[in-house]
Structure 1
Amino acid sequence: MIEIRNIKKSFGDKTILYDISATMQAGKCNLIIGASGSGKTVLTKCMVGLFTPDSGDILYNGESMLQMPEEERKQLRQKIGMLFQGSALFDSMTVEQNVMFPLDMFSGLSYREKKKKVNEVLDRVNLKEANKKYPAEISGGMKKRVGIARAIVLNPKYLFCDEPNSGLDPQTSLLIDKLIKEITTEYKITTIVVTHDMNSVMEIGDYILFMHKGYKQWEGSNKEIIYSKDEKLNEFIFASEFLQDAKQMRMLEDSEKKK
């Protein structure tokens, strides 16, 4: 679990985050959504320690990251997995070498043990035969799965995903969402997903934090979002007439069922 308590962040005289508080639950997909410039990236960078908040606190399982000694922070960072927007694979390395990279950096395992671990996570993301391929030889969806395998190879307690469906077709996006959800539940990871993808919001949004111009505008689940009366949230989520009509239809159907 990650608790964000009254986080404020400014750069010069420009305030980016205004008193943000939220709780990201273990075993859940916690989504941060909002338009460009809403502050979600800055908030995420505060959460992983790349930025230091001006005030407030960030607690990992009840312990303040901001007050930890540097050695404890290093240990915490090893419990954090990252799935980057463009997958960020090393082009000159094979799939196997890419996934093994965190093990080379942070584990004292033998090569045989690392190879076994790599095979396990590649099997988990359905890439059993891809070990010796290079990133240029695999599809965008496969690259994302390699990125997920690399992110979980150290058995992280926390997983941060930055726009995991960026550049993917709708069908592949759904497969990536399903995989993230399965891994989150299976390993009881606290997963934080920064996304613009409304399919992801509706499919895997156990908890959704909607940010607007640096403020926490709304929070809730994908089940609650349909019934939200927050005007700014509805403008963001149901921007098109088609989606507005779909929302109205869903609300009518649910209303009929309750009668």
Structure 2
Amino acid sequence: MIELKNVCKRFGDKEILKGISAIMEAGKANLIIGASGSGKTVLMKCMVGLLEVDAGEILYDGISFSSMSNAERKHIRKEIGMLFQGAALFDSMTVEQNVMFPLEMFSNLSYRERKKRVDACLARVNLQDAHKKYPAEISGGMKKRVGIARAIVLNPKYLFCDEPNSGLDPQTSMLIDKLIHEITVEYNITTVINTHDMNSVMEIGDHIVYLYEGKKQWEGSNKDIIFSKDEKLNQFIFASQFLQDAKEMRQQELLNQRSGTG
């Protein structure tokens, strides 16, 4: 679990994060959504320690990240997996070498043990036959799956995903969403995802924090969104008339299910 308590961040005279409080729960896909410039990326950078907060606290399982020593922060970072927006694979390394890289940096495992762990992670993301391929030889969706394998190779307690569906077609995006959600539940990981993808929001949004101009405007689940009366959230999620009509149809479907009709 990661808890945000009244987190504030500014750059010069510009206030980016304005007192954000939320709890990112273990075993759930915690999504941070909002328009460009709303503060999503800055918030994630604060959570992983790339930026220091100006006020408030970020707590990892009840321990304040801000007050940790360098040694304690280093330990926490070993428990963090990161899936970058463009996968960020090393072009000169094979798939196997990319996934093994964190183990070489942060573990004392033998080569045989590292190889076994890499094989298991690549199998988990359905890439059993890609070990010796280079990033240039695989598709965008496969690169994201390699990125996921690398992110989980150290058995992280926390997983951060920055726009995991960026540049992918809708079908591949759904597969990546499903994989991230399965891994989150399977290993009880606290997963935090920055996204603009509304399919992700509706499919895997166990817990959603909507930022608007640096403030937490709304918080809830993907099911709560259907019945939300927050005007700013509805304008962001259901921007077109088609999506507004789809929301009304889904609302009615859920109401029918609750009442036992339909």
Rounded to whole Å, the distance in 2 between the matches of 1:239 and 1:137 is 38
Rounded to whole Å, the distance in 2 between the matches of 1:179 and 1:147 is 12
TM-score, normalised to structure 1, is 0.99
In structure 1, the residue matched to 2:81 is 81
Alignment of 1:113-132 (within 5 A): 113-132=113-132
Alignment of 1:127-138 (within 5 A): 127-138=127-138
In structure 2, the residue matched to 1:244 is 244
In structure 2, the residue matched to 1:188 is 188
Alignment of 1:10-25 (within 5 A): 10-25=10-25
In structure 2, the residue matched to 1:199 is 199
SS in 2 for 1:10: strand
SS in 2 for 1:126: coil
Q: How many residues align?
A: 259
TM-score, normalised to structure 2, is 0.98
In structure 2, the residue matched to 1:142 is 142
- Deviations along 1:107-138, whole A, 9 cap, x unmatched? 11111111111000000000001000000110
| Structure 2 gap segments, 5+ residues each | none
SS in 2 for 1:75: helix
SS in 1 for 2:159: strand
Amino acid at match of 2:92: S
Amino acid at match of 2:210: F
SS in 2 for 1:71: helix
Alignment of 1:1-259 (within 5 A): 1-257=1-257, 258=259
Rounded to whole Å, the distance in 1 between the matches of 2:183 and 2:15 is 36
Rounded to whole Å, the distance in 1 between the matches of 2:203 and 2:256 is 23
SS in 1 for 2:242: helix
- Deviations along 1:174-227, whole A, 9 cap, x unmatched? 100000000000000000000000000011000000000000000000010000
| Structure 1 gap segments, 5+ residues each | none
Rounded to whole Å, the distance in 2 between the matches of 1:254 and 1:115 is 48
Q: CA deviation at 1:251?
A: 1.6
Amino acid at match of 2:188: K
SS in 2 for 1:76: helix
- Deviations along 1:85-116, whole A, 9 cap, x unmatched? 00000001000000000001111111111111
Rounded to whole Å, the distance in 2 between the matches of 1:148 and 1:161 is 9
Rounded to whole Å, the distance in 2 between the matches of 1:86 and 1:13 is 31
Q: Percent identity?
A: 74
Amino acid at match of 2:177: D
Amino acid at match of 1:243: L
RMSD: 0.8
Rounded to whole Å, the distance in 1 between the matches of 2:179 and 2:148 is 9
Amino acid at match of 2:82: M
Rounded to whole Å, the distance in 1 between the matches of 2:53 and 2:89 is 30
